[in-house]
Structure 1
Amino acid sequence: MNRYFVYIAQFFIAGLIFSCKPSSNKTDLIENLLKERYDILLSYTPDSLAMPRSYSFETEKIRKVPSKDWTSGFYPGNLWLLYKLSGNESYKHHAKQWTAFIEKEKHNDKTHDMGFKVFCSFGQGLKHTNSEDYKSIIIKSAKTLSTRFNDSIGCIRSWDFNKDIWQFPVIIDNMMNLELLFEATKLSQDSTYHNMAIQHANTTLKNHFRDDHSIFHVIDYDTISYQPRMKVTHQGLNDLSVWARGQAWGIYGYTMAYRYTKDSRYLKQAEATATFYLNHKKLRDDGIPYWDFHDPEIPNAPRDVSAATIVAAALVELYGFTKNKTYLNYSKKVVEALKSEEYILETSVNAPFILKHSTGNWPKNDEVDVPIIYADYYFLETLLRLKNVNTI
């Protein structure tokens, strides 16, 4: 990865954040920050086998993945978001190049993460290109994803591994992939995808939430009775703990589902879990949660910036539906925290990321307290959403 891309992204972010007050010169400021770096960005060469996922400070290496990895769509998505935020055509050019590498995933029926991969790339791109090819790729991807839907259970199957333990696992993360289905119906006028998304959301609503509105990570369904047989975790501290990113997926997922359906149950759940999250006694003052609210090592436990940015993006939208300024204030607080040296990745690091201190999979000691690509994606989305409601 060309280290100058890091400089470009970080100078852009710094310019955007530090010009948060409404100003007619905001665009000029961004242009000036990037002007000397246009040629460097254009010389950056996309690589289909080197989608950046995370960075290790220990090894000083970028973790690179192919398109089949669930995180592959975020880097192209980041470029589309940067294009929208800046208006710089060079971001659009590179976004198209990186997005093209994801197309073959439209046939991949071995994963539920079609939304993360395809909609975060082609879906973002469609907002700026109106490409018929992008539309057909999204529809085909939704059709492929639908093969994992079990009508008797009412859910899309998440993982295929651990077959000796699980029969039909469904993770809360899977709510995020419903956006692809909702959009596919809008593009194709085929209600099958929309109806499937609603069934999945309804089943998840029934089984994933605890009485206090916190969220189980994994529900394993019995393939004979079609009822939950296990309520467990795979990435949290333990089965009954509060894994921060799991709460984030749920808040975002049901806010998004309400956007497409206007089902008041979805809005109510998004608000209830958001209230649980925001009022949790272990939530840090700067709004950045520890990776799991039950980690006994708190306050020395790793943080998870990715959970914070996912929630922040969701709560800007939730504010739009409710006008509850508590949600907007949290999102603004997260942005304020993340613009500091504590969280912005040093320009000396040769890696195309923006933020530090995310945690991927703590139980496996995998990507703990490092820059992770999806934290940047939802950070950029938060900035864009805040900009659209005229609050930055």
Structure 2
Amino acid sequence: MGLGFDAYEPTPVSGLPDDVSAIAAGHYHSLAVTSLGHLWAWGRNSEAQLGRGSPSPRESWNEPRRVEGLYEVRVRVAFASGVISSAIGDDGSLWVWGKSKRGQLGLGKDITDAVLPTRVTALLDQEIVKVSLGWGHALALTRDGKLFGWGYYADGRLGTIGKALEASPLDSIADKITSTIKDSNSMFEAAEKLVLQAIEKEDDMPIIWEPTLIEDMHDVDVADIACGLDHSLILCSNGTLLSGGSNAYGQLGREKSDLGLHPVDIQLRPISIASGLGHSLAICEHLPLEATKQEPSVVTWGWNQNSQLGREGQENVPMVVRSLDGEKPIFVSGGRVHSIAVTTKKEVWSWGCGRNGRLGLGSSANEFEPMLVESLEGFQVLGAVAGLDHNLVLVAE
């Protein structure tokens, strides 16, 4: 079963089949796909994100169980957010379940919950290969490089999608809140009032209820996607990296603060991307002119309150994590305030906030730069993903 307690080092999850081939981590729940295409889930189930149909007692949530409603679907891969889960069948079909008032299910106008997996009919004629889920928005990538988006579209996190771009109520007053607090310590109450007023305005949220082709990407092949809490990263096949959405923490990685999707100010060539809650990560190739540096590097930017960038320097500018020089990263993932990377040596490195043992290093200490997860030495790591405050690592037996 799932642990039900804090684990300070990687600990086996019991109760799963021995042929797990893919993993996914939501904010507080986990998913595992087997070689037979069966999907298992455990963790938080307050929004029905475990796909168990009828209500289940809270004490059973940490027990891995097979997701109901997908018995006739051979699942290839799964993805999760805080409040919903999704699965892609081997035929490219997209299935979703959970609850989201921000349209993240993509099942149609005003449909905010699905207790069991439900197929996204708006994408019936598309072969989906990847989905990325933010706080209330979602992106889906097709086999032929088309990009669809849906959900909460404020701040241009879905680019131009047939609607006028507008700032979210919270982001539109961000500067005003900051200046109010700086003016006087006695103004905290006034700043709090501004936030509450902005939240009330979100009752009339800008939402796209069904997957819609993102117009900005009409003539561009998309290679990879990643959604943070309220921002999006889109990697084009030509190596251009675009960002859109909130830039409250510098997570867009660009000086241009215009709403919508615009190029990230990055000097290297990204080959894969990931996002934490408010920070962004990329594995990048160095340009041919940099003859002394041929191995890929991890590049980070954005929120760095707990050193989740793994480096010093300007936070809103994409910069290389130098302490990983000499390693060959093949995968990165970000949580709330921590990050992890997997290398060609089949090793896992982690950095950032260590609270509750989320770095897997045996303590709650923060790490300002990547540290090797030594307790995984001897295992062949096949993959690793970061949830909000936890990680899943898939290893070969």
For Structure 1 versus Structure 2, the TM-score category normalised by the shorter chain is 0.3 to 0.5
- TM normalised by structure 2 equals 0.32
- Larger strand proportion, structure 1 or 2? 2
Q: Which has the higher helix share?
A: 1
Greater relative CO, 1 or 2 (CA 8 Å, sep 6+): 1
TM-score (norm 1): 0.32
